[in-house]
Amino acid sequence: MIRDEGMLEQLLTTIRNFVKNELIPREHEVAEADKIPDDIVQQMRELGLFGLTIPEEYGGLGITMEEEVNVAFELGHTSPAFRSLIGTNNGIGSSAILIDGTEEQKQKYLPRYASGEIIGSFCLTEPEAGSDAASLKTSAVKDGDFYILNGTKRFITNAPHAATFTVMARTNPQIKGAGGISAFLVEANTPGITLGKIDQKMGQKGSHTCDVILENCRVPASALIGGVEGVGFKTAMKVLDKGRLHIGAYSVGVAERMLDDALRYAVERKQFGQPIANFQLIQAMLADSKAEIYAAKCMVLDAARRRDDGENISTEASCAKMFATEMCGRVADRCVQIHGGAGYISEYSIERFYRDVRLFRLYEGTTQVQQLIIAKNMIKEITG
């Protein structure tokens, strides 16, 4: 649901100009230095980008899901590292508190996320629990008015910069599956927390991940999100439903950027005395990419509107995430092909994007996990 068309267009124009004038010119700098410049981070704070989805009463802009996916379309036109920095504050880093947190937790943390004063991070994945998240081993043992946390979380986005971690931990070891898991909001300066070395990834330079290690980490009972044990996995799944829609939308934006670059290259590049855009096999790759982007955009927008209307969009979110991220990979491959040998050279942005977008099909649930979710939901509808 778009609340005010004029206000949304003003926001999108601001972001579009910021992407075009500030972010795109510095993509190469970020990739080379593996760091987002401090002045860019400050501009993001001033534009309110760290609090796009946080309600207005907590200092954010409070955009709806439909508005959020439109913003993601625009942010996708530049390096994923920029979105990744603000992404956890707007998504998985704050959503658990926003969805299931107590009012005290919301008052304490959401305004600081919204301003960009602090960065939140989401700790679900473990060395032995990735796609099978319900098998996580991190423990939280009650000790009076405290919990003692022990375990290791892996591939945690923004962990090197985070002030808080949303940690999924098992409070009831007798329950082996999802029912024994609770969610905690743990401050990064809590004794017992250490960070692993920053992961050296295939792509997405400037976006940092690492292990988060908890050793006898003692947190107050007030850190239990919502104040209730045993619902942490349900909280995580609600967070991921929203995140999957966002990643689907972002994949559309990145695909649009790659196709625009490839189209411009095809019009300018000449072979056999004419632009390669005149060749029908090039045109086929351009057309297939355009059609798939359009299809993914329609899916994402439809699912976002359904979520804003209060529908359960578990299936639709997985469909959109699966199709859009796979589409993005196909578009990246075609765009490298259109560039020919130039597409394999780092002078052209497609070489970097080709590596960057490979991650989209892995995080927030792999393509194969989305297939299982979709099929299980279909079967459940029939069998009850």
Catalytic residue ranges: 364
Residue among 215, 236, 92 at smallest CA distance from 164: 92
Instruction: State the amino acid at position 58 in one-letter form.
Output: Y
CB burial readout 74-96, b (16+ within 10 A) else e: bbbbbbbbbbbbbbbbbbbbbbb
**Distance between CA atoms of 63 and 69, rounded to whole angstroms?**
10
**Distance between CA atoms of 92 and 107, rounded to whole angstroms?**
18
Contacts (Cβ under 8 Å, ≥6 apart) of 197: 210
Task: For the chain, give percent helix, strand, coil, nearest 5.
Answer: 60, 15, 25
Q: Is 156 helix (H, G, I), strand (E, B) or coil?
A: strand
Q: Is 272 helix (H, G, I), strand (E, B) or coil?
A: coil
Sign of the C-alpha dihedral computed for residues 357, 359, 363 and 368 taken in this order: positive
Q: How many CB atoms lie within 10 A of CB 192?
A: 15
